[in-house]
């Protein structure tokens, strides 16, 4: 009893000066708590309190790995004495530590990527302006750094546009009459996002968009941009492609199947997605001089957005113009004429899947899709 009282007093004292203790990370105090844990007469309940306090201390000092270990130890001891509420609390704290660890890791990766890009940029500029006497060696270095800069540019712009900028210094906006635009967003994103921590939200969006990015080239798709939870892509530009509609629907099915499978695995820890596809003409070009972006404009983009807005969770809605180009390849379900905002009534179709089991498009079925991603 006396030991428990002493431990309670020590805990209150610890909490009252927690900020100072956490900032200085007084090793002597930590060692003292660990010594108390090692005493033979220390009960499991007392040890649990000590481990919990140690966990909070390391959490405050942003040493999440160590904090997670102590929260887990505390959880085991609380479980031993039958304190279910404390076991649940420790489990929640351990989850927070895991998210914090992942968040730290993501931040380091982002900072490293930014550092590499900045380094490449300044090295290229430095080499271009250099008047070194050893011109031959400088030229060799310049070739290597130029290649890195070109790769960086290709990650921002379509290859054809990037080459045009390198050769001419400018690129001219163009009209493309036969393209298919893919528009997606996550259902009830704002409401669903309330259940996530910032790290969870960004991490899950990154995982989904990364999976979409990885199959772009396989389907001849050009990613345009992401805006919040929306993903915009197009098939048929900057290089014309007569199979643009089939490629766009193939890509849409890949995205849909990925999200359905992820939802099955993760439940409420991920999103549901709507997809819309429309075929028509667009204008494409670069806007801005700082953080410039390759973008597309036109009524086709707006109509693709209406297809997405009038779709349903886990489904793909296509327009009449897209349907006419893909009806021989895919099973579709006519939805009738649906009232679309600022567009009136438009014919819409749900895409169910590929028509021929042995065709190339059949590779996008859910079981094959799991391997593809």
Q: What per-residue confidence (pLDDT) applies to 44?
A: 77
Contact 265, 273 (CB under 8 A): no
Cα–Cα distance measured from residue 238 to residue 225, given in angstroms and rounded to the nearest whole number = 15
Give the helix, strand, coil percentages of the chain, each rounded to 5.
60, 20, 20
Q: What per-residue confidence (pLDDT) applies to 48?
A: 78
DSSP 216-250: TGGGT-EEEEEETTEEEEEES-SS--TTHHHHHHH
Contacts of 121 (CB under 8 A, 6+ apart): 149
Q: What per-residue confidence (pLDDT) applies to 58?
A: 82
Per-block average pLDDT, block size 10, for the chain (373 residues)?
Answer: 45 47 54 63 76 80 82 81 82 84 78 71 64 65 66 63 64 86 92 87 92 89 90 92 95 95 90 95 82 85 95 96 96 95 94 77 46 43
Contact 145, 123 (CB under 8 A): yes
With b for 16 or more beta-carbon neighbours within 10 A and e for fewer, the 63-99 pattern comes to ebeebbbbbbbbbebbbeeebeebbebbeebbebbeb
Q: Which CA distances in Å does 315 have to 193, 229, 254, 257, 272?
A: 21, 17, 12, 9, 10
Q: 2-102 is classed in which CATH architecture?
A: Alpha Horseshoe (1.25)
CATH class label, 173-372: alpha beta
Q: What is the pLDDT of residues 204-254, one digit of tens each?
A: 999 999 999 998 888 989 998 988 899 999 999 988 999 999 999 999 999
Q: What per-residue confidence (pLDDT) applies to 370?
A: 40
Q: What per-residue confidence (pLDDT) applies to 346?
A: 95
Contact 46, 9 (CB under 8 A): no
Cα–Cα distance measured from residue 332 to residue 355, given in angstroms and rounded to the nearest whole number = 9
Burial class (CB in 10 A: 0-12, 13-18, 19+), 102: middle
Q: What per-residue confidence (pLDDT) applies to 75?
A: 81
Domains of the chain by residue range:
2-102, 173-372
Contact 322, 245 (CB under 8 A): yes
Q: What per-residue confidence (pLDDT) applies to 329?
A: 94
Cα–Cα distance measured from residue 252 to residue 353, given in angstroms and rounded to the nearest whole number = 10
Structure letter (DSSP) for residue 195? T
Give the Cα-Cα-Cα angle 245, 155, 255 (nearest 5 degrees): 40
Q: What per-residue confidence (pLDDT) applies to 6?
A: 47
Round the average pLDDT of the chain to a whole number and report it: 79
Contact 39, 78 (CB under 8 A): no
């Amino acid at each position: 009893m006396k030991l428990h009282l002493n431990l309670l007093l020590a805990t209150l004292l610890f909490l009252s000066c927690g900020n100072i203790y956490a900032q200085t990370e007084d090793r002597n105090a930590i060692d003292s708590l660990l010594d108390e844990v090692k005493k033979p007469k220390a009960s499991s309940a007392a040890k649990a309190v000590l481990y919990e306090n140690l966990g909070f201390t390391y959490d405050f000092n942003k040493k999440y790995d160590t904090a997670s270990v102590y929260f887990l130890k505390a959880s085991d001891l609380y479980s031993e004495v039958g304190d279910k509420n404390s076991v649940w609390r420790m489990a929640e704290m351990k989850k927070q530590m895991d998210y914090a660890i992942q968040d730290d890791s993501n931040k380091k990766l982002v900072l490293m990527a930014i550092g590499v890009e900045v380094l490449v940029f300044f090295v290229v500029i430095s080499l271009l302006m250099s008047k070194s006497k050893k011109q031959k060696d400088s030229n060799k270095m310049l070739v290597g750094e130029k290649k890195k800069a070109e790769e960086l540019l290709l990650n921002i712009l379509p290859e054809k546009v990037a080459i045009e900028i390198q050769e001419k210094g400018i690129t001219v906006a163009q009209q493309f009459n036969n393209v298919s635009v893919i528009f997606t967003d996550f259902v009830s994103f704002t409401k669903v996002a309330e259940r996530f921590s910032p790290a969870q939200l960004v991490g899950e969006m990154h995982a989904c968009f990364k999976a979409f990015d990885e199959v772009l080239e396989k389907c001849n798709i050009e990613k345009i941009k992401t805006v919040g939870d929306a993903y915009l892509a197009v098939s048929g530009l900057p290089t014309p492609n007569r199979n643009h509609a089939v490629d766009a629907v193939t890509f849409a099915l890949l995205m849909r199947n990925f999200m359905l499978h992820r939802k099955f695995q993760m439940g409420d820890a991920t999103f549901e997605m709507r997809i819309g596809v429309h075929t028509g003409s667009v204008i494409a070009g670069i806007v801005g001089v700082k953080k410039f972006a390759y973008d597309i404009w036109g009524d086709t983009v707006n109509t693709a957005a209406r297809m997405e807005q009038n779709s349903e969770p886990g489904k793909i809605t296509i327009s009449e113009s897209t349907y006419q180009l893909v009806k021989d390849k895919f099973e579709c379900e006519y939805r009738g004429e649906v009232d679309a905002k600022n567009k009136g009534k438009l014919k819409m179709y749900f895409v169910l899947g590929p028509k021929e089991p042995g065709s190339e498009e059949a590779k996008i079925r859910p079981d094959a899709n799991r391997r593809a991603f």
